[in-house]
Structure 1
């Protein structure tokens, strides 16, 4: 990540978005040592890819941001303020890079002053998805340690919220690297496919493009939704349903979909080769890059 622009949001004002934003040096300190985002990971975030100054799928990201805030009992985000912060960062990114991203974050605030939430929007150039297109990935399956119905049986585990508590996800990625792989697909203890640490799974099974449902405690995939929209427009069959591990291993092709990488094809799964459909991958990423909002 190469930080390029940073805006602090004044969450305690009803001012217009432009007046509630303060541009700060992205390489300077922003938080106090007692901010709950740093001390407890108590907050939420979203990352929006920006192509030629245009934030992609911004409204679905804001929808998910509001949903995560509600799940964590955080103050309801003032949508126009957060939209304004992303647009301001995106406009600055346009001057630096044709392809960047904006991460926007809501923290519960300072432990010493819990009435005051903290918010910021960081514009950066991602290390992933270089000009050569989405990377081909070697992926391992890792057991998440929960049944597929954990979101219903244990809602306090916050499955399906995009929180700042990413220690488990980062540990999973380190385990993947120890096994000589790039990324991870989580599975449930009862054998269902879930999601990646920062991606949504799409597999082509018997000619149908499938993705697991969010009621398995998964994040709603904004990029996956746009992938399905493109596929549907081309006349392809899509389905949102439970996918078991055996189906994934036998799939015609597999992708991990995320904002910064787009639709990244899986070339191996636990060391077994997976066919990469380069033509479909290129078409999907062209469609993603062509989005206007």
Structure 2
């Protein structure tokens, strides 16, 4: 069985025609062959949306949450609505086709398609995950960076697409390069008026006593799938959970903090802006063990 799987969708949207009316809804194809037009708006404009699902022991995690977020991001970009039945079937087909591994991932992408056309482009890519053991155990160092927007940008300026998971990742990649220049591993974005937001590819979660906190999605941050699973885990352990609008001081004073995401899972923060902060190794280990054991 292969270590990489690529599936091209023939009709990725319920609102647009198929690329080939006679063909199946999707097909597994040779990853070594060219498939994307140089005129596709995914390549020329970053005009599309994506999701990345963690696959643990052959089970895609937060399946329904990812698909719902995928559809919501598409709507925010005025993209044709994805056919979630077809996308779900393609994801499951990719997981079945992929060589078995403890941890893998599936990335799904919907673009507006070739410029000037009316048919969106969609594909599913599956592969084995990199080894994130060090980040999950030793922890990561982060720097806080000003995102340049007020905390209420999602409501005041919806055209900026705050909270959508788009293909336009130039700013996120630039932020990660800035973190590297500062000797850090990752970034926590802060609004221009001092409210904590999220990482370039992750959700911020921190513990304050027996309460798990994350920035409110109304701040224009991504609705975290891994964070949602962790909140259910925390509540099952008798902890409380909260969505807040925290200032930077909340993070510096937290009992423990993490950046969480679908593939890396739970990475404890050990340093913030060159200041060492405590790691809750026991809770971190329990959270990662829980996520790796999920079968839904």
TM-score scaled to structure 2, two decimals? 0.93
CA contact (8 A) 1:45 1:104 kept: yes
Counterparts of 1:27-42 in structure 2, within 5 Å, are: 27-42=32-47
Residue 171 in structure 1 maps to residue 174 in structure 2 = yes
Given candidates 251, 256, 260, the residue that maps to 1:253 is: 256
Counterparts of 1:268-283 in structure 2, within 5 Å, are: 268-283=271-286
Unaligned runs of 5+ in 2: 12-16
Cα distance between partner residues in 2 of 1:257 and 1:215: 18
Secondary structure (helix, strand or coil) at the match of 2:91 reads helix
Secondary structure (helix, strand or coil) at the match of 1:5 reads strand
Partner of 1:45: 50
Cα distance between partner residues in 2 of 1:276 and 1:131: 14
Cα distance between partner residues in 1 of 2:229 and 2:262: 10
CA contact (8 A) 2:137 2:281 kept: no
The number of equivalent residue pairs is 288
Partner of 2:110: 106
Counterparts of 1:67-86 in structure 2, within 5 Å, are: 67-86=72-91
Alpha-carbon distance change, 185 to 131 in structure 1, aligned in 2, over 3 angstroms? closer
Cα distance between partner residues in 2 of 1:161 and 1:132: 26
CA contact (8 A) 1:41 1:165 kept: yes
Deviation at 1:30, TM superposition (A): 1.8
Cα distance between partner residues in 1 of 2:82 and 2:133: 32
Bigger mean CA offset, 71-80 vs 3-12: 3-12
Tell me the alpha carbon deviations over residues 234-276 of structure 1, each in whole angstroms, 9 at most, x when there is no partner.
Answer: 1012111111101111111000010001111001001111111
Deviation at 1:24, TM superposition (A): 1.4
Cα distance between partner residues in 2 of 1:258 and 1:102: 13
Deviation at 1:22, TM superposition (A): 1.2
Secondary structure (helix, strand or coil) at the match of 1:264 reads strand
Tell me the alpha carbon deviations over residues 8-65 of structure 1, each in whole angstroms, 9 at most, x when there is no partner.
Answer: 00113499xx931111122332201100000000000000000121100110000000
Cα distance between partner residues in 1 of 2:137 and 2:125: 23
Cα distance between partner residues in 1 of 2:269 and 2:3: 28
Tell me the alpha carbon deviations over residues 55-109 of structure 1, each in whole angstroms, 9 at most, x when there is no partner.
Answer: 001100000001001100011111110101111111122x242210000000000
What is the Cα-based RMSD across aligned positions, in Å? 1.9
Cα distance between partner residues in 2 of 1:188 and 1:197: 13
Unaligned runs of 5+ in 1: none
CA contact (8 A) 2:5 2:126 kept: yes
Partner of 2:14: none
